[in-house]
Amino acid sequence: MDDQQDQTMRHVKAGSYMDEQVDQFDAFAIMWNNADAIHLTFGRTSINVKTSIYRADPGTATTTRDAGEIDVFRLDVGAVTMPIETAKELVQTLSKMILQAEARRENDE
């Protein structure tokens, strides 16, 4: 019988911790500390509203607002670099989570 007991590790968020919604990523195989590693940058498409146009309606004393000029851009919200071994574990975990999500969807959960 195994005499090891379960252990709990407390999580502490770094000052640089992020919690963001992303729908895009870039991935690179790199060397890090003289070892193979994977670098991932996560982001999403966003807009910068540069101007709004306010139009006065002289007959009703009301004002309407229309979209003005915008810039569409990729907002990079974070990046991580990890050893190959960690990346392999991440692949397995993501595959498992995807299968679970698809099973829930198929069962209307």
pLDDT for 69: 94
pLDDT for 2: 66
HEC string of 29-75 equals EEEECCEEEEEEEEEEEEEEECCEEEEEECCCCEEEEEECCEEEEEE
pTM: 0.72
pLDDT at 1 over 60: no
> Could you report the per-residue pLDDT of 71-109, keeping only the tens digit for each?
999 999 999 999 999 999 999 999 999 999 999 999 987
> Could you report the per-residue pLDDT of 34-72, keeping only the tens digit for each?
999 999 999 999 999 999 999 888 888 788 888 899 999
